[in-house]
Structure formats: structure tokens, C-alpha cells
Amino acid sequence: MNILLSGVGGQGILTLAELLGDAAILDGYEVRVSEVHGMAQRGGQVVCHVRFGKNVYSPLIIEGASDMLISLEVLESLRAARYLKHEGVVIINSLELPPPLAIIKGIKYPSINDAIKEFMKITKKIYVINSMEIIKRNRLPAATINTIILGSAWATGELGLSRDSLIKAMIRRFGEKWKDINIKAFEEGAKYLSETGVAKV
Amino acid sequence: MNGEEIVLMLGNEAIARGALEAGVRVAAGYPGTPSSEIIEVLAEWAKEHGIYVEWSTNEKVAVEVALAASFCNLRSLAAMKHVGVNVASDTLFTATYTGVRGGFVIISADDPSCHSSQNEQDNRLYGPHMYIPILEPHSPQEAKDITMYSFELSEKFKIPVMVRTTTRLSHSRGNVRLGPIPNIAKEGTFERSPEEMSCLPSNARKMRVKLIEKIKSIEEYFNDSPFNCINGDSKVGIIASGLAYAYTMEALRALKAEEKVSVLKLSTLYPLPKKLLASFLEGKEKVLVVEELEPFIESYVKAICCELGIDSRVEGKNLIPLAGELTPLIVLEGIASFLGEKLVSKSGFKLEVEVPPRPPVLCAGCPHRSTFYAIKSAVRKMKVDAIYPSDIGCYGLGFYQPLEAIDISLCMGASIGIACGLSKFSGKIVIATIGDSTFMHAGIPALINATFNPSNFILVILDNGLVAMTGHQPSPVTGVNAMGEKVKVVLPEDLVKACSISFCKIVDPYYLEATISTIMEAIEHVQKGLGPAVVISRRKCALTLLREARDGKIKIAKNRVDEEKCVGCLACIKLIGCPALLPFNGKVIIDESICTGCGLCGHVCPFKAVMRVET
Ligand SMILES: Cc1ncc(C[n+]2csc(CCOP(=O)(O)OP(=O)(O)O)c2C)c(N)n1
């Protein structure tokens, strides 16, 4: 199983990647997670590769072979698009963070509809998650965005990890204190995806 | 974490864990991506396991501290990024002569593709140059195992041992089986043996002869190393090491060629095991060496073939690129063409929309942004022709639009030496910038030079209270050390004064007008030829400010846009590029979760549309 995570430095991609990795270990897989540390974390693009299975060597996913792409930001989903395989699953958090350089150079920021149109060329399984709306509606802390997205990813039925292990990994990382809030966020993320279904333009 | 548990571990953590399981007593390093987590993790474990850990002022000092511990019969480790080994190399070149007592392992974390570095040098080449044994793991589990093995090796042959890792291994996680941590509360002891530890010419000549012998014995030993292995028995072979091995295995699987190719995985890179290589090469029609960066193994393999009359065709850098990090796709393409297989490209996916770049940027409220802005404003006001040598740190991001405040940047500390030269030969006003940690690391000798060989330039020391770029490690200005102990601070201004520099002023870059006028004074001082002028721009890293405000330790102001006044001209974003400024509904809003109230946006707004709000 290959999962590519993308977003902007500071959004918590690394934590999401670790959660997936921990859950995969709990499910008994061999795991590789490739992270980005250092300079790129300063507001630059960040991608993490998560791979698990029976016999995994490389920490990197080969272009065109990712089973799932999870992007925490609209533009970054497009930058990572080349990794997605045909009929792979793509989950986009509908947050838009235009890079200052795009404004300075006068390059247009692509809209969520642009993104959906692009992905429709290779897959039907496109899910757009409005995590801000979920947070507001359920009065969840802003920091639960990643848990919401994780819930959505799980609800596609194609994540390849058990709900139990995901929840266990989450509790281990965020602590008992945040257990209920995170489970709630996970569930809301899952519910949102089931209710909204695949995105259309 | 004890016993036989399997956990998900970062490559760097696995190296630290290996050291701990091997009974390391002392660890020292200097921060540098991708190596920093090794010392950070050991520092976290220090108290519980009774080990001594330090962030040294630079890599040379780190190697010296760790080597001294080894001289005291303790197992020790030094960790640094690839270019850090350059700084430490003077010591290491002779440490192989003196040899060691307690096992001494140095970790070199290389950075192919320069993810966070100024170059992509291949430190395997230090092997034959320094006569230092080098091993390279391919997975986090092997990183732990090889680190442990290296301590044994170092003690067995009384020689420093280098473990080479790369960004992709250091920063990837994998399953790691934990082993027991030995309970050794060992104190150092020192027995004198001056002939063995003093590299005076009369001793050094003998030491070199001994060193050559050691390396020969290690080569023999490596022929049977459990970390080298051969899979399969075919007339077509691949030799690979490190992550290149991981990509090779994946490529052979993708090509369904596992049975058609035999693979030699090499982990002992210097000295390369000649007998093992010869036995692999014997009878092969053709062999491909898959390795990242230099043709290190390839050249040696070709030499062996020549020497032993083996007529296998050896390929390598003709199919695997010399520059940049390898990826699974690059290796797949290289191996496919080596095997004469055609690849059908799977991703014929072309985007129609333009995807604007998102390079890293200075954080919202970064004091470096304000300082650079002040420097540029002072230069504009005085209408001087200025050039800007800078250094290595977060402030390197000042190179990009819209600040464009860097003309030259090479390696740690170079800004000041370059400024000494430029001030004499360029005919321009020279304004150098350097961070606090970089100044302490390698800037001071050059600043002494500026007095010793009178030079007229401006130096702005960007003092944000720590090493920000590499993840907020303490620097000598911080007041705490790696193990969290409170220590005296070393103040840049005291060092500047001790260099007999008369112009030394301290500013807070959040007070923009005062900062601009101080830099103007410094320019005047230099114009008059009165010697170097130093301005210390002191303000805590914006991320520290946010953290302290969140913890309730300090109060910070925020900036907010007055919707009535904002006309959406985007001048703020275009002039300062702060990531807290976001275009929204034809105007600009400020993301208050990351704003630190530096006020720079208010300063540049032509419509005075930015307000300051106290929190
Ligand atoms: C020889 C060497 N060691 C380490 C590094 C890694 N490194 C890059 S920037 C930096 C220090 C930055 O600290 P400082 O100068 O205080 O600037 P800041 O990032 O805090 O703004 C380090 C250690 C390097 N590039 N070269």
C-alpha cells in the first residue's frame, strides 16, 4: 500500500505520516515512512511517503504508483498529482494557502474546481473535505484537522488499515486526555465523506 | 522501550538507539540537517541512562570532545551533517593516526540533492583519504545494527569508524526491533601514552605505517562482514549500497527480474572487501553498480577487474546519474536499460493548470525579515552601492523575492572572511549578515582578521537566541545546553569588543526606524574608513515568541487589517512576502494564529490599513 501525503510546512503532515506508520505496525506490516525535515519545513511544500506491506524496501513511492493521495491543501494536491495511480483515491482538504511568491510573480492560484477537473483525468475517486466547516459545526479544536482527514481517508474503505489500530496510534500519540476529541474528529471526518461522496465539478 | 518490541523509528533515532544499546557514554555534535535528531534523541535519554551529551560550538570541537572520551576508555559518538565533517576533518585526519581506546563512531549524514545544504558532497571519499573505515546502512533496522557493529569494530581495530547515512535514510521511518540497553555506569580513566597520542613528525611517521596495516586487516575482516550479502547466482549482477540497494530491490520486483539478476549488497564501503568483490565479479557477463553521487564503488570495481584480469563489463554512472538524489524511478529506468527492458510509462498525466512554486519562506514575524528590510531601507536612504555577503541559517531565505538581500553565500562563517576581502577589492559598501550560532561556529577568527588586517565593512549579527534553521537547538547565546542545564551565556557583543572593534550597537529589529538609523550610522562609520562596524540585531525567533505566548509566558501583539482602509493593492505581500498575509475577498487578511505583531506590514502599507491589537 502506498499513500502520499502533501501539504505546506507547519500543517502537521509529519504527525499524520507517523500515525499511519504506527497503525501499520500495529496491523503487523513492514513499514517505511519518508519525511521532510529542515529547510522545507519553513512554509514550503512538504510531502511524506507512507508505504506498508509484506516486503518493503524503498521509503519513496514511485511516480504513478500511489494508491492514495491525501493533501491538506488544494494547490499541493496538484503538485503531488503525478504520484497518483490510475483510479487511485485522492482526498483534498479544501483549504487554500496561496504562496506569497505566486502573488509576487502574479501566477493565478488554481481553484478547487480546477483541481477536481485535473484529477478526473485519472480517477473518479476524488473526495473534497471541508475540514474548517466540520470544525466549526462540531466546535472542534483547529488542531484536529489531521484527525478529521484521517477519518475521511479511512471511510473510503481503501486505506488498508484497521480502525482499531488507527485509534490506538492516535491515543498513543496525542494522549488519553485528547482521546474523546480525536475520536469525535475521526468520526466526523468519516461521516462527512460518506455523506458527501465523490466530488463533481 | 525495552525488550523485544518492534517500533516505528526514524533512521536517526535508530542510530541513537544503536549507540545506546552498544553502551555509548558520550555523544557530541553540532546541529545540521539531516543529522540533528541523533544528538537530540540522545540528549533526551541522557539523564535516564547516565550518558553525557553536548551540542558543541562546532563539529571540530564535537569530534575532539568525543575523541577525548574515547581516549578515556569510554565509547563515544560524534554526529554531524556531511559538510560538518569538513570542519572536523583536520582532527579526523590525525585521529586515524592516534587511533582510539573506547569505541569511537562518527556519523556523517550526507544530503544528496541538497535538500537542506549548500552542496551534495559524497563523504565516502573521505574513506581512502583519511583511512577511516566507512559503513552504510539501507534501512532503519540496519542503521541500528551497523551502529552497534561499528563500536565493536572501532574497539577491535582501535580506529575511528564512520557510519554514513543520507537524508532519505536519516529521515525515514521503518520497523526497528529494540534490544536491551546495557547497564553500565562507567567512569572515564586515562592512562598516559604520549607516543601514541601526539602526532609529532617522529611519531606520525610510525603511526601512518601502522594505520596502513590496520586498514589491510579491516579489509580482510570486511570480506566476511554479515552486512554484505549476495543474493542469487546469475551471470548478470548488480552491486548496490545504502538506499540504492532498496531501490534496486524494488526495481527488480517491478521488472520481474529477481531471478535473472544476482545482487551484491555492500555495507562496508571502506576499505572495500576485495575478495568478496572478486568472487562476485568472477564469471559475470556484466555488472551494474547502483550508487548515489560519486562512482566510488564503480571505480574500485573497475580497478579490481583490471588488476585480476576479470572481463565482466562494468556499468554505473553511464546509466545512473552523477548529480542529485536517486529515486525509485531513476533506478528503475537505469536497471531497465541495463537489462535491455522497455519501460512503459504509467503516468501520462499532464496538468493543464500552472502550479505556482512554493519555496520555503521566512516565518511570519521572523526578525530576519525586519532586519533585511531595515538594511535595504538604510542603503536606499543613503543612496550607496552596497553588496551583501551572507551566511548559513534561516536568513538564507532572504535571498529570495521580495527581499533579495543576499549576493554571496557559501558555508558556515564565510560571510565575514568574504567581507574582509570584498571591502578591500570591490569598491562597494559591504554589508554582511550572520546568525548567532554561525558566528560562534566559524565567524570569530574572521572577525579578528578584520581588526588584524583593517577592513571596512558592516557586519549585522542576527541574534535570534538559538539555532533556528535546524530545529531550535540551543546556541551559546541561549543560556541552556543540550541536556537542558542552565549555563552562562556568551554574548556576541563581548566577543565583538574583544576583537577591538569600536562600533558595536545593539538593535531590536521590531523597532524598525531605530534599526534603520543605526545601520545608517554604521554605513557612515565605514565610509569614513573607521574600521568594521557591527550591529547586533537581537530579537527572539518568531516561533519562540509564539510558543512563549501560547504558554502564557509573554504577551505579544497582533496586527489586523482595517477592512475599510484596505484597497487590496497587495503591496504588503509583494514588498515583504509574509506568510501571515493572505488575499481574501479582494482584500488582505492576517492569519493571527501565526502573526507576532512585528508591524512590518503596517510600515509598508501605503494606505495605513494595518492596526496593532494587544492580546
Ligand atoms: C559546517 C556546517 N554545519 C552545520 C550546518 C547546518 N546549519 C545550517 S544553518 C545552521 C545554523 C543556523 O544558526 P544561526 O546562524 O544562529 O541562524 P538561524 O537559523 O538561527 O537564523 C546550521 C547549523 C551547515 N550548513 N554547515
pLDDT given at position B347 = 60
- Comparison of pLDDT for A118 and A38, the residue scoring more: A118
Instruction: Inform me whether the pLDDT recorded for B591 exceeds 60.
Output: yes
**Rounded distance between C-alpha atoms, residue A192 and residue A130, angstroms:** 9
Instruction: Inform me whether the pLDDT recorded for B566 exceeds 70.
Output: yes
Q: Has residue A27 been placed in a domain?
A: yes
- Comparison of pLDDT for B134 and B4, the residue scoring more: B134
Domain ranges of chain B: 6-222, 229-339, 367-548, 555-613
Mean local confidence (pLDDT), B18-44: 98
Number of H helices, E strands in chain A: 8, 6
In single-letter form, the type of residue at position B230 comes to: I
Interface of B with A in 169-198 (CB under 8 A): 169, 171-175
* Separation in Å, CA B520 to CA A153, A192, B379, B454, B507: 56, 58, 7, 21, 13
Instruction: Inform me whether the pLDDT recorded for B269 exceeds 90.
Output: yes
Residue of A42, A79, A110 with shortest CB distance to B363: A42
Helix (H) or strand (E) holding B55: strand B52-55
Mean local confidence (pLDDT), A88-92: 98
Which residues make beta-bridge pairs with B587?
B584
CA atoms within 13 A on the CB side of B248: 26
Grid cell digits, residue B281: 565479479
What's the CATH number for B6-222? Answer: 3.40.50.970
Residue contact B351–A81, C-beta within 8 A: yes
> Which tens digit of pLDDT belongs to each residue from B76-107?
999 999 999 999 999 999 999 999 999 999 99
Instruction: Find, among B570, B567, B569, B595, the residue nearest to B580 by Cα.
Output: B595
Mean local confidence (pLDDT), B9-37: 98
Give the distance, in angstroms, between the CA of residue A137 and the centroid of all CA atoms in the same chain: 21
SS3 of B34-75: CCHHHHHHHHHHHHHHCCEEEECCCHHHHHHHHHHHHHCCCC
Instruction: Find, among B422, B375, B381, the residue nearest to B395 by Cα.
Output: B375
Establish whether residue B492 lines the binding site of ligand 1, counting it when its CB lies within 6 angstroms of any ligand atom: no
pLDDT given at position B346 = 62
At which residue does the C-alpha cell 506498508 appear?
A52
Establish whether residue B468 lines the binding site of ligand 1, counting it when its CB lies within 6 angstroms of any ligand atom: yes
- Choose the mutation target among B173, B252, B369, B409 for the interface with A, i.e. most A CBs under 10 Å: B173
Which chain B residues touch A108 with a CB distance below 8 Å? 354, 356
> Which tens digit of pLDDT belongs to each residue from A46-65?
999 999 999 999 999 999 99
Q: Is A201 on the interface with B (CB under 8 A)?
A: no
Owning domain of residue A41: 2-196
Q: Is A177 on the interface with B (CB under 8 A)?
A: no
**Rounded distance between C-alpha atoms, residue B33 and residue B109, angstroms:** 8
Helix (H) or strand (E) holding A152: helix A145-155
Q: Has residue A19 been placed in a domain?
A: yes
| For chain B, percent of residues with pLDDT exceeding 70 | 99
Establish whether residue B470 lines the binding site of ligand 1, counting it when its CB lies within 6 angstroms of any ligand atom: yes
Residues B103, B22 contacting (CB under 8 angstroms): yes
Ligand 1: centre distance to CA B242 (Å): 26
The secondary structure of B271-300 as a DSSP string is S--HHHHHHHHTT-SEEEEE-SSS-HHHHH
Mean local confidence (pLDDT), A96-124: 93
Residue contact A62–B332, C-beta within 8 A: yes
Task: State how many domains chain A has.
Answer: 1
DSSP A121: T
What mean pLDDT is reported for chain B? 96
Ligand 1: centre distance to CA B196 (Å): 35
Mean local confidence (pLDDT), B399-403: 95
Residue of A nearest to B356 (CA): A102
Establish whether residue B597 lines the binding site of ligand 1, counting it when its CB lies within 6 angstroms of any ligand atom: no
Interface of A with B in 16-55 (CB under 8 A): 17-18, 21-22, 24-25, 30-45
Confidence grade of residue B184 (pLDDT, cut at 50, 70, 90): confident
Q: Has residue A201 been placed in a domain?
A: no
Residue with the smallest CA separation from ligand 1 atom 2 is: B84
Supply φ then ψ for residue B268, to 5 degrees. Answer: -95, 105
What ligand 1 atom has the least distance to the C-alpha of B462? Answer: 21
Mean local confidence (pLDDT), B472-492: 97
What is the nearest CA distance from A170 to chain B, expressed in angstroms?
A: 14
Read off the pTM: 0.97
> Which tens digit of pLDDT belongs to each residue from B194-243?
999 999 999 999 999 999 999 999 999 999 999 999 999 999 999 999 99
Residue with the smallest CA separation from ligand 1 atom 9 is: B393
Which residues make beta-bridge pairs with B287?
B237, B314
Residues B393, B362 contacting (CB under 8 angstroms): no
pLDDT given at position B340 = 96
Q: Has residue A35 been placed in a domain?
A: yes
Mean local confidence (pLDDT), B370-390: 98
Mean local confidence (pLDDT), A167-178: 93
Supply φ then ψ for residue B254, to 5 degrees. Answer: -60, -35
Instruction: Find, among B612, B615, B613, B614, the residue nearest to B602 by Cα.
Output: B612
Residue contact B354–A22, C-beta within 8 A: no
pLDDT given at position B348 = 62
Residue of A nearest to B172 (CA): A34
Q: Has residue A11 been placed in a domain?
A: yes
CATH class of B555-613: alpha beta
**What SS3 class is residue B490?**
coil
Mean local confidence (pLDDT), A78-86: 96
pLDDT given at position B1 = 46
What's the CATH number for B367-548? Answer: 3.40.50.970
Ligand 1: centre distance to CA B397 (Å): 12
Establish whether residue B55 lines the binding site of ligand 1, counting it when its CB lies within 6 angstroms of any ligand atom: no
Q: Is A157 on the interface with B (CB under 8 A)?
A: no
Beta pairing class for B172-177 and B6-10: antiparallel
The domain spanning residue A68 has which CATH number?
Answer: 3.40.920.10
Which chain A residues touch B168 with a CB distance below 8 Å? 34, 59-60
| Cβ-proximal residues to B302 (8 Å cutoff; 6+ apart), any chain | B314
Instruction: Inform me whether the pLDDT recorded for B2 exceeds 70.
Output: no
Q: Mutation test of ligand 1: which of B467, B473, B489, B537 has the most ligand atoms closer than 8 Å to its C-beta?
A: B467
**Rounded distance between C-alpha atoms, residue B8 and residue B588, angstroms:** 43
Question: Would B6-222 and B229-339 be classified into the same CATH topology?
Answer: yes
**Rounded distance between C-alpha atoms, residue B277 and residue A89, angstroms:** 45
- What is the ipTM for the molecules in this complex? 0.95
What's the CATH number for B229-339? Answer: 3.40.50.920
pLDDT given at position B186 = 82
- Choose the mutation target among A6, A50, A62 for the interface with B, i.e. most B CBs under 10 Å: A62
Residue with the smallest CA separation from ligand 1 atom 21 is: B394
Q: What is the CA radius of gyration of chain B?
A: 27
In single-letter form, the type of residue at position A164 comes to: D
